[in-house]
Structure 1
Amino acid sequence: MRYNRNTFAASAIATALLLSGTAAAGVAQAKPAQPDSLYAPSSLVLTVGKGADAATATVERAVTLECAPRPGGSHPSPRSACTDLAAINGQFAQLVASSSQKPCTRQWDPVVITAAGVWEGKRVTWSITFGNACEMAGSMAENSVFAF
């Protein structure tokens, strides 16, 4: 077989079309990944458990809470909980009142609450232990985040 400049040119064109032009052959090219939203994600798992420590507590209740791009999850009041978190910039420690707003016994029956996940694109791991369920309810009465 004899090769000339036209043979090489035709071969180069065919190779270029094959490598770059799958669209020319009727196959759609993959588009680059695009974010679903312009908002940073906010998705959390909230728990209430029995025990003195988050690592060893027995979880009694748990919900998911999504705040961005829109409120959702299994939380009974996601819109209200997201509003409460947004008001404190996701600083969970600010949810807790300095003292219980209701009279409670001094019985030691520890309850631990946790928040884990992502708030406005930043990883969150937070927990606090209360002496009993009454203290927890009195300290958290001002917000709906852990009202489930």
Structure 2
Amino acid sequence: MTHTTHAVRGGLLAALALLTVGASAPARTTAAQSDWLYVSLTRGDARSFDTSGALLLCDPPHGHGRAAQACVELRETGGDITRIPHKNAVCTQIYAPVRATAVGRWNGRPVTFEQTFANGCVMTARTGAVFALSG
């Protein structure tokens, strides 16, 4: 499986999740209802297929283990993951790359984010709870 095939599969899963959520939820008109991100993590190098993802919804918060905290952090930054305050953390110098990606909508605006971090500890220190797919 190529990287392109893997990316297409992830995009299709996100679209399917959105269609499922949209079909099962009653119509709502508030901006908060439209706030969602499909977040995913790929562990390993560029050829890795160790990817997991979740649809983070914030009204009410659900989608992964720390959805409530992730939604608070995103609300405080207007949905801009790069503006989440960095936390002081003592992380090992072990290189175990983690690519974090997010696509979605926040306050009616498209959100895209992709960054590779040296390891999971560094990622969490920079992105808070947004990519905490498990509790």
TM class by shorter-chain length?
A: 0.5 to 0.7
Aligned length: 106
Aligned partner letter, 1:134: C
Task: Quote the sequence identity (%).
Answer: 27
Q: Does 1:37 pair with 2:63? A: no
* Structure 2 residue ranges without an equivalent (≥5): 1-25
Q: Does 1:79 pair with 2:68? A: yes
2:120 pairs, out of 133, 137, 140, with 133
Residue-by-residue CA offset, 1:82-110 (whole Å, 9 max, x unaligned): 1111011111102262x8611311x3331
Match of 1:90 in 2: 79
8 Å contact kept, 1:46–1:63: yes
Match of 2:42 in 1: 49
Q: Which entry has the higher C-alpha Rg, 1 or 2?
A: 1
Q: Does 1:62 pair with 2:53? A: yes
Match of 2:131 in 1: 146
Change (3 A) 1:59 1:43: farther
Aligned partner letter, 1:60: T
- The structure with the greater share of residues assigned to helix is 2
Match of 2:109 in 1: 122
TM-score normalized by the length of structure 1: 0.59
Structure 1 segments, 4+ long, off by >4 Å, are none
Match of 1:104 in 2: 92
Residue-by-residue CA offset, 1:104-133 (whole Å, 9 max, x unaligned): 11x333111111111121111101111122
Change (3 A) 1:100 1:58: farther
TM-score normalized by the length of structure 2: 0.64
Residue-by-residue CA offset, 1:12-53 (whole Å, 9 max, x unaligned): xxxxxxxxxxxxxxxxxxxxxxx9222131121111112466
